[in-house]
Amino acid sequence: MTELVLIDRPAAGVAMVTLNRPEKYNALNSALRGAFAEAMAEASADSGLRAIVVTGADPAFCAGLDLNELGRDDYEFSSDADGPLGCCPVPVIAAVNGVAVTGGLEIALACDFRIASERARFADTHARVGVFPGWGLTARLPQAVGQSWARQMSFTGDYVDARLALRIGLVNEVVPHGELLARSVQIATSIASTAPSTLARIRQTYDVGRDGTGADALGIEAERSGSGLTVEDPGGFAARRSSVFSRGRAQ
C-alpha cells in the first residue's frame, strides 16, 4: 500500500512532509488527514528538528477536503484554527507545487510562510461549494493578502496564479518548478542555523500578533463551524462538487 504521507530528512534539522495522494490531487480524506497529523507529530517529536517543509506530491499541493467523502451522511469533521498542522514547535514552510484549494489553502496559510512553484494556483471555494471554513481561513487570508483581495478570493472562488499570489503577498517567492523543493530546503536550513530558543520566542511573539489580530474572526469561525462542517443545501452538494472539480481541471 502506498504511504499517504512521506517524511524525509533532506538536511540536518530539517524534515520534509509530503502529502502523497497525487491521483486525487492530495485531497484530504479521513485517512490522509489522520496520516498527516501523525506525520507532523512524529516529525515534531524530534528534539533536533529546527524547521519543516510541507509539500504535496505532484501535480498538486492539496485540493482541500475530499469532496466525495464530504458528501457522505456519516462524514465527521472537527474544526481547528491550525487544521492538520496542530501546534508545531518549529517554523513550517509551505512549498506550494500546484493547486492549493480551500482546505489546502488553509494548510498553506497555517504555515509560517509560503514558497511557490511557477505552477502554483490558489483558490478559496468554500462559498462555491457551500461549506463554511473551519481551519482559520477567515482570519489568515486577510492577514496575508489584505481585506480586499481576501474578499475577492472568497466571494468568487476564482483561482489566483503564482505571479499574482506573489504580487498580493500570499507567497514570499516564486521559483521554477524544478527548484521549489531545493529552495525551500535551503531556506529551512538557514532557519536551522539560528539560535533555537531565541527563534522560538520570536516566532511565538509573531504568532501572538497574528492570532491576536485575527482573534475575533477565529472565534466567529469556530462558533459557526461548531464541531463539524455546515453544508448549505446538502441535496445540491453533488452538483456543486462536480462544478468545482470541473473548474479545477479546466485551469
Q: What is the 3-state secondary structure (H, E, C) of 106-157?
A: HHHHHCCEEEEECCCEEECCHHHHCECCCCCHHHHHHHHHCHHHHHHHHHHC
Q: Express as a percent the part of the chain with pLDDT over 70.
A: 80
Q: What is the pLDDT of residue 248?
A: 53
Check pLDDT > 90 for residue 233. Answer: no
Tell me: the pLDDT tens digits for 92-101?
A: 999 999 999 9
pLDDT of amino acid 144: 96
Q: For the domain bounded by 5-250, which CATH number is listed? A: 3.90.226.10
CA 51 to CA 112: how far, in whole Å? 10
Q: Which residues contact 152 (CB under 8 A, 6 or more apart)?
A: 158
State mean pLDDT over 199-210.
90
- Match 465527521 to its residue by C-alpha cell: 76
Query: Which residue ranges make up each domain of the chain?
Result: 5-250
Beta bridge partners of 8: 16
Q: In what order do the strands lie in the sheet with 173-175?
A: 5-11, 14-19, 51-56, 92-96, 113-117, 173-175
119 vs 212 pLDDT, higher one:
119
Confidence of residue 207 (pLDDT cuts 50, 70, 90): confident
Q: How many CA atoms lie within 13 A of 113 on its CB side?
A: 13
Stretch 121-143: mean pLDDT: 92
